[in-house]
Chain A
Amino acid sequence: MSNPLVPKALASSIVARYAPLLILALAWEAASRLHLVSSLALPPLTDVALAWGELVQSGELVTNGLSSLYRAGAGLALAIIVGGALGIFMAISRPTNAMLGPLVELFYPMPKSALIPVTVLWLGFGDGSKILLIFLGCMLPVTIGAYNGARGSDRHLIWSARSMGAHRLRMIWDVMVPSALPELLNGVRTALALSFILLVSSELIVARQGFGYLIGYLGANGSYEAMFAVVLTVAFIGFLADRIYQSMVARVLRWRE
């Protein structure tokens, strides 16, 4: 009896929470329908939704989207693996830290978008240059997260693991990685947000495929409804990726409670 009520209550609380967004959407629709702003500058939301439907049907949105997601996924995966390993090795080995620490500190604040033209110079207009850009741009936040996390891991845990005869690699995997995990995962979240920024920027500037390319192409042709549709799609995917990531993190870190 009470069970079916729970989703309903949940749904109505979600509606109440996101009501302001609904108000903004209605204001958007009204502003362009009532010609308060030019419909070129702000096409009505309903027209944008129709254009979105057409883009999905023609397959343009899906092909470009898949190529974007492939680039972001591959670049991010490389950044997490290499960046995480680097951070942990910097935490356990003093020479590595002395060698790489200053370089990490030097390159970390660099505006990563400066790498866009170089990756194009090296690898051209295709997937390779975007993957390299996202890899290079997203690696350092993961490295710093892994380093901070692993450095903060409990010395007593490490000593007792050692004294119980744990192998060095085994010790890293069983003791240091889990204790570095919260900060490492935080670094990955920063990297996730950065990967979307770098993906869309590089596709806007130089590409022949992908979300960013599609946005630029539609804008240049004056199909603003469709351009808005793609912009909102990208924004929504970025939002969704972050939410999925956060719920995943909550699950992974549940053992800590």
Chain B
Amino acid sequence: MAGVTGAMRRRGWSAARLAPIVVLLAAWEILSRSGAVTPFMLPAPSAVAERIYDDALGGGLFINIGVTLYRALVGFAIAAVGGVVLGTAMARNAAARWFFDPVISVGFPMPKIAFLPVVILWLGLYDVSKITMVVLDAIFPVVTATIAGIASVEKELLWSARNMGAKDREMLWQILLPAALPQILTGLQVALPIALIVVVVAEMQMGGYGLGAAMMQASRFANSRGVFAGIVEIAVIGYVPVAAMATLRRRLLAWHQEAQEGV
């Protein structure tokens, strides 16, 4: 997936690529104005835009965006660091591998979201429980990607580094992690959308501030404009970090053959 969307993005947002989106918006506007569906089922995009504008003027939109992004990104950062550390430990240390391997291989495919009520029970309704949920879900792809990345480092590279007298610490920072970076980044690219999905669900379930909570509130009051405004806001908030991550990957891997192959 990274390959295709990456190649797509490199071509930039030309007019030809924006056209289908404009057509979709126009079709949506026409459909909702035609009376074929009620405005409750499908409010017109202009009405949704108006609602988003009002939210922004009131300032509530920015608080909610800030809170949601804060929870998602803090959780993601903890999962990223923790996942790389745990993955490295498992790749380098037999005892760590023995203990965590079954935990990871059983835990990865589990729907961790089912633990949401348990986490609420333990940690309450505020930021800590939401961030914990994000970490719990986002850490697994990072761990498995780190292990796979380190395992696939060429043996010749390790031997020659050892031969030249590299110490363990130097081996890790200068050889293993840089060589494993492409796969680690892939793991992070899998983990980031998961973090955003989970934060939205946790907010919907727990209420308070945040885009998910605001959307759920609108839904409880059968305010369909609010619900659709929420979808647009969450879609944008989901798109920006994922696009930023893809850009970061290209920057970080400029030295790697992946970038030089020229898709």
Footprint of B on A, CB under 8 Å? 17-21, 24, 40-41, 98-103, 105-118, 120-122, 141, 144-145, 147-148, 151, 193, 196-197, 199-201, 204-205, 211-212, 215-216, 219, 224, 227-228, 230-231, 234-236, 238-239, 241-243
Contact = CB atoms under 8 A, between A and B. Distances in A.
Nearest to B68: A111
A114 B201 CA distance: 8
Contacts of B4: 144, 147-148, 151
Nearest to A189: B109
Contacts of B101: 17, 20
A116 B234 CA distance: 12
A114 B110 contact: no
A207 to B, nearest CB: 12
B99 interface: yes
19 contacts: A17-B102, A20-B101, A21-B102, A41-B121, A100-B20, A111-B238, A113-B200, A115-B231, A116-B204, A117-B216, A117-B219, A118-B228, A121-B40, A122-B41, A144-B5, A196-B111, A205-B205, A219-B121, A227-B117
B102 A20 contact: yes
Given A100-B20, A101-B8, A235-B111, A111 B193 contact: yes
Nearest to B16: A98
B21 A103 contact: yes
Contact of A200 (B9, B114, B242): B114
Given A109-B242, A114-B230, A231-B117, A103 B24 contact: yes
A106 B21 contact: yes
B3 interface: yes
B135 interface: no
A113 B111 contact: no
B236 to A, nearest CB: 9
Interface in B189-241: 193, 196-201, 204-205, 211-212, 215-216, 218-219, 222, 224, 227-228, 230-231, 234-235, 237-239
Interface residues of B, number: 63
Contacts of B21: 102-103, 106
A211 B113 CA distance: 12
A241 B235 CA distance: 29
Nearest to B204: A205
B235 to A, nearest CB: 4
A109 B197 contact: no
A215 B114 contact: yes
Contact of A231 (B3, B114, B197, B215): B114
Interface of B: 1, 3-5, 8-9, 16-21, 24, 40-41, 98-103, 106, 109-118, 120-122, 193, 196-201, 204-205, 211-212, 215-216, 218-219, 222, 224, 227-228, 230-231, 234-235, 237-239, 242-243
B231 A114 contact: yes
B193 A109 contact: yes
Contacts, number: 170
B239 A106 contact: yes
Contacts of B99: 20
B106 A21 contact: yes
A117 B227 contact: yes
CB-CB nearest 3 A-B residue pairs: A242-B109, A117-B219, A196-B111
A94 B113 CA distance: 39
Residue of B20, B110, B120 ringed by the most chain A CB atoms within 10 A = B110
B1 A224 contact: no
Given A113-B197, A114-B235, A238 B111 contact: yes
B116 A204 contact: yes
A215 B114 CA distance: 8
Contact of B103 (A21, A100, A114, A193): A21
B115 to A, nearest CB: 6
B117 A120 contact: no
A113 B201 contact: yes
B47 to A, nearest CB: 15
A205 B117 contact: no
Given A212-B114, A239-B106, A102 B197 contact: no
A30 B212 CA distance: 38
Given A227-B117, A239-B110, A144 B193 contact: no
Nearest to B24: A103
